[in-house]
Amino acid sequence: MRTPSVLLVDDHPPLRAGVAAMLQRDGTYEVAGEAGTLDEALIQVRAIKPDIVIADITLPDGNGIDLARSLKRDGASTRVLLLTMHARRAFAENAIKAGADGYLLKESTGEHLFRALETVRSGDVFIDPALGLQNVGDGSQTPLETGSDTDGFAALSEREYEVFRLLASGQNSKQIGVLLGISSKTVDNHRLSIMTKLNLESIADIVRLAIRVGIVEP
């Protein structure tokens, strides 16, 4: 039986090396390639046609959600498992709606990684158990909502999500810039993009939406 192939996509080589070593030790999956950007990942997928892509959400020229969306639009059979630091159910749900097949937190153990790989390879959806959801394949997962307040989050980059969360918690552009290591002008640009993507008109709208979806406490 052919060994399932995996493409690792992350702009941090040490993380790719760690995941690759874990997969190689287990022997169930073959690491067929690596990429550090969205463009490189798309080229590699078309060249080697991996069974599964394990991709970080944040990439220098896009994000893993963009990758999943592009592959689904192209009709590729490759499954996409996203890795992220964001432990938010709303973000996970909307990543799945956008075309990802799995959502795994970077802090999770190797056991969860292999469970996630087996789940998405079988055609089911996997969301990290730490988010309070079970594997869709076992019939016990809470259904993903449609048409909810969280629908627009799939369009946000991971950086935009961070800016959204900090804006909702009462931080101003200068404070957010210091926290994220970016300029206040860049924060303002992110804020404009967030408001456009989520169809919001003011900071008050951001706060109200964040409270509704549970990102901040009322």
CATH code of residue 52: 3.40.50.2300
Residue with tokens 């964040």: 210
Partners of residue 53 on adjacent β-strands: 7, 80
- Looking at the fold, whether 122 and 164 belong to one and the same domain comes out as no
Q: Is residue 149 part of a domain?
A: no
> Which residues form the domain of 200?
156-212
Can you give the pLDDT of all 218 residues of the chain as single tens digits? 789 999 999 988 998 999 999 999 999 999 999 999 999 999 999 999 999 999 988 788 877 888 898 898 888 899 999 988 777 777 788 788 888 999 999 888 788 999 999 999 999 999 998 886 544 444 334 444 444 555 567 677 778 888 998 999 899 999 999 988 999 999 999 999 999 988 899 999 999 888 776 667 66
- At residue 79, the pLDDT reads 96
- At residue 141, the pLDDT reads 43
Round to whole Å and give the CA distance between 100 and 126.
9
- Helix axes of 158-168 and 184-197: crossing angle, nearest 10 degrees: 100
- Looking at the fold, whether 178 and 131 belong to one and the same domain comes out as no
* DSSP helix/strand/coil, 95: helix
- Looking at the fold, whether 130 and 185 belong to one and the same domain comes out as no
DSSP string, 98-164: HT-SEEEETTS-HHHHHHHHHHHHTT--EE-GGGT---GGGT-SPPPPSSSTTGGGGGS-HHHHHHH
CATH code for the domain of 171: 1.10.10.10
Q: Is residue 171 part of a domain?
A: yes
Number of domains in the chain: 2
Q: Is residue 218 part of a domain?
A: no
Round to whole Å and give the CA distance between 179 and 131.
25
- Looking at the fold, whether 36 and 116 belong to one and the same domain comes out as yes
Residues contacting 146, CB < 8 A, separation 6+: 97
- At residue 136, the pLDDT reads 43
Q: Is residue 150 part of a domain?
A: no
Residues 71, 86 contacting (CB under 8 angstroms) = no
